[in-house]
Structure 1
Amino acid sequence: MDIEQLRREYLHGGLHRKDLLPEPIPQFEQWLQQAIDAHLPDPTAMSVATVSADGYPSQRIVLLKQVDHRGFVFFTNLGSTKAAQIEGNPRVSLHFPWLELDRQVIVSGHATRLSNREVLGYFLSRPKESQLAAWASRQSHPISSRMLLEQKFAEIKHKFSHGEVPLPSFWGGFRVDPRSIEFWQGGAHRLHDRFLYTRKEDNQWAIERLAP
Structure 2
Amino acid sequence: MKKTFSYLWPLTKKYNSNYNGKLEVTWINGRKVLDSSNANYSYGALQEVLDHGFAEVRADRAAPVLLLGLGGGSAIPLLRNKYGYYGKITAVELDAAVIEIAKNEFNIEAHQPLELLCTDAEAFVASSQQQFGFIIIDLFLDLKVPAQFFTDAFWKNVAALLTADGKVLFNAGINEAHQEHIDYLLKNDTLGIHFQQKENVYGSNTLLLGERK
What TM-score, normalized by structure 2, do the two folds share?
0.26
Higher RCO (Cα < 8 Å, 6 or more apart): 1
**Greater Rg over alpha carbons, structure:** 1
